[in-house]
Homo-oligomer: A and B are copies of this chain.
Amino acid sequence: MIRALEPRDRDHWQALYRGYQAFYGHDRAPEFYDKAFARLMSGDARDFQGLVYDDGGLLGLVHYVFHPNLWRDEGVCYLQDLFTSDQARGRGVGRALIRGVYDAADAAGVPNVYWLTAEDNYAGRMLYDRVGQKSPFIRYNRPL
């Protein structure tokens, strides 16, 4: 049910990713999705990869990237985007997608996977506390 994102997923993927962007308050132009999909399909191992939960229709997506870490030769895996459709809620789709990233990370020899989430993303954290481990680390940004 978890499989790599493919070119034929374009429309369903965009519908899901638009929902994710809306969750964070973003209304993106079509070009945003064009670029993101092109990158996900580029085959560049240093750029983002996508997985989907396919149950006949697409119920969820996850995007991740490997990037260097000075403490670890093999680098780390950053899970940036995770989203499931409303009808997928409570069916283990989010959990399966995260585990899909764990498997992909293992296959790449990069076992360390991390993600960031808003402190008040309660629904997300209910899942993350089961499948991941909260760290004491918080994010600071350059003010722009």
A29 contacts B by Cβ under 8 Å: no
B73 in contact with A78 (CB, 8 Å): no
A135 in contact with B126 (CB, 8 Å): no
| Chain A residues bordering chain B, tally (CB within 8 A) | 49
B112 in contact with A136 (CB, 8 Å): no
A107 contacts B by Cβ under 8 Å: no
Distance A114 CA – B114 CA, assembled complex (angstroms):
15
Chain B proximity mask over A102-144: 1 for CB below 8 Å, otherwise 0: 1001000001111111111011011011001111111111111
The 10 nearest A-B residue pairs measured at CB: A122-B122, A67-B67, A113-B142, A132-B140, A137-B139, A116-B137, A135-B139, A133-B143, A119-B136, A118-B136
